[in-house]
Structure 1
Amino acid sequence: MSPRHLIPVVGLAAALAASFAARAQSRGELVGPGVISTGLQETSAALTPDGDTLYFMRSDFAERDDTILVSHRENGHWGAPQVASFSGQWHDSEPTLAPDGLRLYFVSNRPLQPAAAPVTADMGGHHFAGTNLWYVQRQPDGRWGAPVHVGGALNDGAMIYNPSVAANGDIYFSAHRPDSGAAYQIYVAHPTAQGYATPQRVDLGEVARNRMDPAIDPQQRFLVYAGNEGDSLGSADLYIAFRQADGSWGKPLHLPGDINSPALENAPSLGPRFGELYVSSNRRDEVRFPKPRDTAASLQQRLQQPLNGSRNLWRFDIADVLRAHGIDH
Structure 2
Amino acid sequence: MTPRHLTYVLATCLLATLATRAASAGELLGAGVISTGLQETSAAPTADGKTLYFMRSDFAEADDAIMVSQRVGKHWSTPQVASFSGQWHDSEPTLSPDGSRLYFVSNRPVRAGEPPVMAEMNGHRFPGTGLWYVERRARGGWSAPTHVDGALNDGAMIYNPSVTASGDIYFSARRADSGKAYQIYVAHPQGRGYAAPVRVELGDLEHSRMDPAVDPQGRFLIYAGNEGDALGSADIYIAFRQADGRWGKPLHLDDDVNSRALENAPSLGPSFGELYVSSARRDEVHFPKPRDNAATLQQRLQSPLNGSRNLWRFDISDVLRAHGIAR
Alignment TM-score, normalising by the size of structure 2: 0.96
User: Which residue, out of 117, 132, 135, partners 2:133?
Assistant: 135
Matched, 1:204 2:212: no
Q: For residues 206 and 79 of structure 1, what CA distance do their matches in structure 2 show? A: 44
2:116 maps to which residue? 118
2:238 maps to which residue? 240
Partner deviation per Cα, 1:36-70 (whole Å, 9 max, x = no partner): 00000000000000001000000000001110000
Structure 1: runs of 5+ lacking an equivalent: 1-6
Moved more, 16-25 or 253-262: 16-25
Matched, 1:266 2:264: yes
Matched, 1:30 2:37: no
Q: For residues 46 and 21 of structure 1, what CA distance do their matches in structure 2 show? A: 21
Moved more, 272-281 or 190-199: 190-199
Aligned amino acid, residue 61 of structure 1:
F
Partner deviation per Cα, 1:273-298 (whole Å, 9 max, x = no partner): 00000000000000000011111221
1:160 maps to which residue? 158
User: Which residue, out of 96, 99, 124, partners 1:98?
Assistant: 96
1:320 maps to which residue? 318
Q: Which stretches of structure 1, 4 residues or longer, exceed 6 Å deviation after superposition? A: 7-13
CA contact (8 A) 2:109 2:115 kept: yes
Q: For residues 153 and 43 of structure 1, what CA distance do their matches in structure 2 show? A: 26
User: Which residue, out of 71, 90, 96, partners 1:73?
Assistant: 71
Q: For residues 167 and 92 of structure 2, what CA distance do their matches in structure 1 show? A: 18
Q: For residues 316 and 108 of structure 1, what CA distance do their matches in structure 2 show? A: 28
How much has 1:195 moved relative to structure 2?
Answer: 0.5
Q: For residues 14 and 64 of structure 2, what CA distance do their matches in structure 1 show? A: 25
Closer/same/farther in 2, CA of residues 13 and 247 from structure 1, 3 Å limit: farther
Equivalences for residues 190-201 of structure 1 within 5 A: 190-201=188-199
CA contact (8 A) 1:67 1:87 kept: yes
Q: For residues 94 and 129 of structure 1, what CA distance do their matches in structure 2 show? A: 14
CA contact (8 A) 2:11 2:299 kept: no
Number of aligned residues: 323
Closer/same/farther in 2, CA of residues 240 and 79 from structure 1, 3 Å limit: same
1:257 maps to which residue? 255
Equivalences for residues 145-224 of structure 1 within 5 A: 145-224=143-222
Q: For residues 10 and 195 of structure 1, what CA distance do their matches in structure 2 show? A: 53
1:257 counterpart SS class: coil
2:154 counterpart SS class: helix
1:4 maps to which residue? none
CA contact (8 A) 2:100 2:136 kept: yes
Closer/same/farther in 2, CA of residues 293 and 136 from structure 1, 3 Å limit: same
Closer/same/farther in 2, CA of residues 325 and 49 from structure 1, 3 Å limit: same
2:256 counterpart SS class: helix
Closer/same/farther in 2, CA of residues 99 and 9 from structure 1, 3 Å limit: farther
CA contact (8 A) 1:134 1:149 kept: yes
1:26 counterpart SS class: coil
Q: For residues 16 and 75 of structure 1, what CA distance do their matches in structure 2 show? A: 21
Matched, 1:44 2:46: no
CA contact (8 A) 1:222 1:241 kept: yes
How much has 1:27 moved relative to structure 2?
Answer: 0.9
Closer/same/farther in 2, CA of residues 31 and 183 from structure 1, 3 Å limit: same
Moved more, 51-60 or 20-29: 20-29
How much has 1:26 moved relative to structure 2?
Answer: 1.6
Q: For residues 99 and 12 of structure 1, what CA distance do their matches in structure 2 show? A: 41
Closer/same/farther in 2, CA of residues 100 and 12 from structure 1, 3 Å limit: farther
Identical counterparts, % of pairs: 74
| Aligned alpha-carbon RMSD (Å) | 1.5
Aligned amino acid, residue 289 of structure 1:
F
2:275 maps to which residue? 277
How much has 1:11 moved relative to structure 2?
Answer: 7.0
CA contact (8 A) 2:7 2:295 kept: no
How much has 1:22 moved relative to structure 2?
Answer: 2.6
Closer/same/farther in 2, CA of residues 83 and 322 from structure 1, 3 Å limit: same
Closer/same/farther in 2, CA of residues 46 and 282 from structure 1, 3 Å limit: same
